[in-house]
Amino acid sequence: FWVHMIQHLLLTLVAAPLVALGAPVTLALRAASPPARVRMVSVLHSRALRLLGHPLTAWMTFALVMWVSHFSPLFNLALENDIAHVIEHMAYLVAGLLFWWPVVGLDPGAKRLAHPIRILYLVTALPQQSWLGLAIYSSSRVLYGHYMVVERAWGPAPLDDQRAAGIIMWVGGDFLFIVALALSIGAWARAERREGERVDRRLGRPVRG
């Protein structure tokens, strides 16, 4: 389970922001034929996508996907069914993309948050990730029956495995969110410095290096 948890963190907190930074929609628009581009633009400006891409919706979708998938029969189903497993991973990636789009998205239609709101957005997401990891770690029983019956060539006992997975989500998730917060604070500081330099130039003041 702990290896599975590393996959989840990589999908939601590493792969998703990197994909968002790669501006996949812009790339698709450039590669598409003119008729396809028109259809894509209409979808980008649709009410449904605007609602889905709204920061509040994205935040809630991310939290909902993480909690429901880990505390419902869906997780065990994904462990026992390959198609369900693929769908689960796709759900994590899509939820992660929606979550990170307002923070780092470069595509048209991305509702980039102002720097202070961006930091608040990440700060409020950090504890829900921590609580999820803590809930998994604190459970006194094995949450997923699949791990009770699967043959193990190596690794910890099922409950120890589950606790290790909870710690990985808790500590690893917090670490990745703190890195994102540090980068966001740095971006805010650079933006403030550039704005100060523009004001100085406009007023004819010497710009400090």
* 72 lies in some domain: yes
pLDDT of residue 205: 64
Residue 207 lies in a domain: no
- The Cα–Cα gap between 137 and 100 comes to 26
Distance, CA of 160 to CA of 207 (rounded, Å) = 58
Q: Is residue 209 part of a domain?
A: no
Neighbouring residues of 65: CB distance < 8 A, sequence distance ≥ 6? 91, 92, 95
Our count of domains for the chain comes to 1
CA of 83: how far to CAs of 20, 74, 79, 148, in Å? 25, 12, 10, 21
pLDDT exceeds 70 at position 153: no
Residue at 208 is within a domain? no
**Which range (1-5, 56-60, 128-132, 135-139) has the least confidence?**
1-5
Q: Given this model, what pLDDT does residue 63 score? A: 96
Helix runs in 105-171, H state only:
115-138, 146-149, 158-167
Question: How confident is the model at residue 41, as a pLDDT?
Answer: 83
19 in any annotated domain: yes
**What torsion do the CA atoms of 146, 152, 156, 159 make, to the nearest 10 degrees?**
20
Fill in the DSSP letter of residue 111. Answer: -
Extract the tokens encoding 97: 């993309």
Q: Which domain holds residue 177?
A: 2-202
- Token pair of 150 as six digits: 């699967």
Q: Is residue 132 over pLDDT 80?
A: yes
Of residues 98 and 109, more confidently modeled: 98
The Cα–Cα gap between 68 and 209 comes to 50
105 part of a folded domain: yes
The pLDDT value recorded for residue 169 is 93
Please state, in angstroms and rounded to a whole number, the distance separating the CA atoms of residues 161 and 152.
11
Provide the 10 A C-beta neighbour count for residue 110: 19
Q: How many residues does the chain have?
A: 209
- pLDDT, residue 207, reads 54
Is 175 within the bounds of a domain? Answer: yes
- Render pLDDT for 187-196 as a digit per residue (tens, 0 to 9): 888 888 887 7
